[in-house]
Amino acid sequence: MNIDLSGKIALVTGAGGQLGRVMVRTLAECGAKVVIHYRSSREKAEELKKEIQEIGRDALIVQADVTNFSSVLQMKDEVLAYYGELPHIIVANAVEQYIWTSVLEQSPSDYESQFNSCVMQSVYLAKAFAPAMIERKEGRIIGINTECSMQNFPSQSAYVAGKRGMDGVYRVLAKEIGEHGITVNQVAPGWTVSDRDRENGTEQSEAYESSVPLKRRGTDQEIANMVAFLASDLASFTTGAYIPVCGGNVMPSI
């Protein structure tokens, strides 16, 4: 049983980031044509495009501010002009970075940035790309959430608020467009090992790993594998799900 995304177009936002680039590579390796979104890291996007082309897959680079609807619509037009059709798979991965601190000390602007990059990005992507999926009677929308949404630890408030808002949008959207054969799911990584960790020798953290049932941190590839699964026909009857990929560090209850 293989994951075959041949003939599909997959758009990944924040594709030049530590996790985004691995998801792009994995979707391309499964046969998808890929749209590499970036906001400011053009050089990283170009490097990733070259990698994708070297494995014989097509790739398009698009620049957009996913917190601005006009910019998202412009990205949509660029994809349509290049491929002649819109993506079958959307992966909402981009998020604003900021310094975490307590609720009392966190800047109000940080809450706004998380709302815009988590909630409004999800809304704008749905408005831009879901209508074509509805017309096609198929589609996959995948949001990258976080285990922090269930942890609610000190200093996480702005991030958790944004991601919990995103969760609400995705659960409602799953019910609204499911009748058209479109699935809407979320992948919630734990503290993930990325290329930055491998380069810096920071793959392990005893304090964190001690609380994880599998006693290790997950890898970027393991997150990308779940994204590829949800993007495929193997997950055709899974929708509205929040799926932690964190070694059991958080466990949704029933």
The set of catalytic residues is 159
- Which tokens in the block code for residue 194? 């990325």
- Which tokens in the block code for residue 90? 């959307």
Token pair 């996790």: residue: 19
Contact (CB, 8 A) for 128 and 80: no
Pairing of strands 59-63, 33-38: parallel
Spatial separation of the C-alpha atoms in residues 104 and 144, rounded to whole Å: 27
Amino acid at 223: I
Helix %, strand %, coil % of the chain (to 5): 45, 15, 35
CA nearest to 191, candidates 138, 165, 153: 153
Spatial separation of the C-alpha atoms in residues 171 and 198, rounded to whole Å: 35
Give Cα 149 to chain centroid, integer Å. 15
Spatial separation of the C-alpha atoms in residues 179 and 177, rounded to whole Å: 5
